Chain A
Amino acid sequence: MIRTTLAALLLTTTAHAGEIWVTNEKDDTVSVISTETLEVIKTYETGERPRGITFSKDFSLLYICASDSNAVQVMDPNSGEILHDLPSGEDPEQFVLHPDDRHLYIANEDDAITTVVDTESRKVVAQIDVGIEPEGMAVSPDGKIAITTSETTNMAHWIDTETQELFANTLVDSRPRHAEFLRDGSEMWVSSEIGGTLTIFDTATQAEKAKISFEVQGVHPDRVQPVGFEFTAGDTHAFVALGPSNHVAVVNAETYEVEDYILVGRRVWHMDFNEDRSLLFTTNGVSGDVTVIDVAKREAIKSIKVGRFPWGAAFRPTN
């Protein structure tokens, strides 16, 4: 059954060759997975404790938060060579690349600061005081708003990217971990790990619009902890990693109902899709692997062994 599914997938995905790049937090490496063969094809060394990972808009550069090296590293993804480090402030954990393809907004977890770095001049443009343990980072599609969530202050901080100043701070449930805007920019979603919820904000008013909670059969609610999430093609659904409950939830982005739970590896953390968003790759920190989910069928189809404590994931096309 799985073999036929895979064969079918291979046929349908050949037109969209690509790679998923995964940071291995406790191995100081990135693993490169082929979205065609679903196998690790390369492993490159990075700085210490790599976590956040993202590509430049043309996929020619890879940015890696090397948290314990206190740097954002810039890698040539074709050679695996580290080209240079960017100043990042201390302990960069997670970041987001502005639509201008030039400015990185970086959460400095130990310093309660968001650092804005110009990747061209390689200089720090601004440092913004935020709450304790900033982590989740997002930027609106029009580039006007950046978001930092702070884990211990329990807020989403709204940054005006023109002035680099905060213009709103909205409380969410305990330990916010990740933030994303819908592609049309109308909504901003935040996951709260310990609170066990997703909070949805109306971008225009920064008012809370809805709150989603989860219930996984056989798992105590305390252990259902939403972390990373991504939207499917057309923003119809969100796939939400539920941490130590070892499940990914499928949330209908229009009705805000949870439609499905998919069993994956242990302590599922972040994720990314292949090019046409037919496959989802989740990082499972404790089991040290990546689960591949067939998005249409909402089934896990394969586990891929990567390094120790896989954390972030980023896609790049290769054709």
Chain B
Amino acid sequence: MRQLLAVFCALWCAVPAGADVTLSAHYLHVEVPLPPTLSNLDPIPEDNGLAGALTGLKDNQTTGRFLGQEYELSQTYVPEGDDPIAAAKALLATSPYLIISAPAEVQTAIADLPEAQGALIFNTSSGDITLRDADCRANLFHTLPSDAMRTDALAQVFVQKRWTDLVMITGTHPQDVAYAQAVRQSLVKFGLDLAGEKEWAFDADMRRNASQEVPLFTQDFGDYDAMILADEVHDFGRYVLYNTWEARPVTGSEGLSAVAWSPVIEQWGAAQLQSRFEKAHNRQMTSQDYAAWAAMRTLGEAVTRTNAVDPETLRAYILSDAFELAGFKGRPLTYRAWNGQLRQPIAIVHPRALVAQAPLDGFLHQVNELDSLGLDQPESTCEAFQ
């Protein structure tokens, strides 16, 4: 291999001799207590996110060996009760590159550390809209789509299918409440009507009586075109499908869902990423895996093209027009220069197939159709990127 590189450099390499560059990044997972859910059918994988980062690392390493560039990724798990800020401090002392799975407030606290100034941190776990808005940070990038990007995608489907009369059932967990708020904003943005809304407040075991309770619970919605579930912790939603009083499609957190990634995505070369991932980790790739993969690949792409490993150069390149990431979604992925959000198509899926991909045909934008999803430049109050 060394010999080969030497030959290759003699023939082509424009980079200085011995230009071995090494990018070290850290994956930081902060454990969050999960609320109990009615069903245990789909446990969240323990390496959710990390597995994606490792696949991205491997992709980078393969490219790197042809260019004399190396990549490393360390992993840190902060158990419940331990101090994630102290852990982040220690990591930032050794590398400015952090890929994080943590609640939004932990992420901003880390980004505000003196040690994090000039660092490049990737949020791969939180769809929190304020992180892309008033609470944005210049050193915090987002590879996971915001909740707004996902609910805007869903709203585009409603518009296209002329499902204009909508109702929503909302869970009570903070994630559910945030998602429901994003849904309300998206419906206003796309001129749709939320005719009814109910809070899910059962404490009975729906595994046994969903067929009795859900028809009654949904009967007073009257007629509508489609139902939206705000059940981001995936507690009750699965029991609503096919049990509603009116025979109408169920969308949102269950049923027809808008997601960053899903095992059912197979076009645009995605089948290759899926099979590479499954071979390595013996399970299917989740949205959070995809976000962590994209973060690692973003760093890799920037190093490949700039042959640099300092965060200032990489950050500038990532935000420039020259940057583009091939993310198996059919178009180049880039970052929004106003809030550090990775622009990306959103998949509209059911558990067995891809139904559509937003932005849908006809949703135009003066700059980039992908900006019809989520906070556009005029809407975002993020100032850190200016």
Contacts and interface: CB of A to CB of B under 8 A. Distances in A.
B330 A109 contact: no
Contacts of A170: 12
Contacts of A166: 4, 8, 66
Contact of A152 (B7, B59, B331): B59
A171 B304 CA distance: 9
A224 B355 CA distance: 23
Contact of A154 (B304, B330, B369): B304
A290 interface: no
A207 interface: yes
Given A110-B272, A154-B304, A168 B63 contact: no
A165 B379 CA distance: 54
A112 B326 contact: no
A76 to B, nearest CB: 31
B67 interface: yes
Nearest to B327: A194
A165 B369 CA distance: 44
B323 to A, nearest CB: 10
* Chain B contact residues: helix, strand, loop or mixed: helix
B332 A222 contact: yes
A34 B98 CA distance: 58
A153 B62 contact: yes
Interface in A163-220: 165-171, 173-175, 193-196, 205-207, 220
A131 interface: yes
A301 interface: no
A205 B11 CA distance: 7
A169 B332 contact: no
Interface residues of B, number: 26
A174 B63 contact: no
Contact of A155 (B66, B331, B368, B370): B66
A150 B304 CA distance: 14
Nearest to A110: B275
B331 A169 contact: no
Contacts of B79: none
A272 interface: no
B59 A132 contact: yes
B66 A157 contact: yes
Interface string B253-296: 00000000000000001001001100100000000000000000
- Ranked nearest first, the 6 interchain pairs of A and B with the lowest CB-CB distance are A222-B331, A174-B326, A169-B66, A153-B63, A194-B326, A175-B326
Interface of B: 4, 7-8, 11-12, 59, 62-63, 66-67, 269, 272, 275-276, 279, 304-305, 324-326, 330-332, 368-370
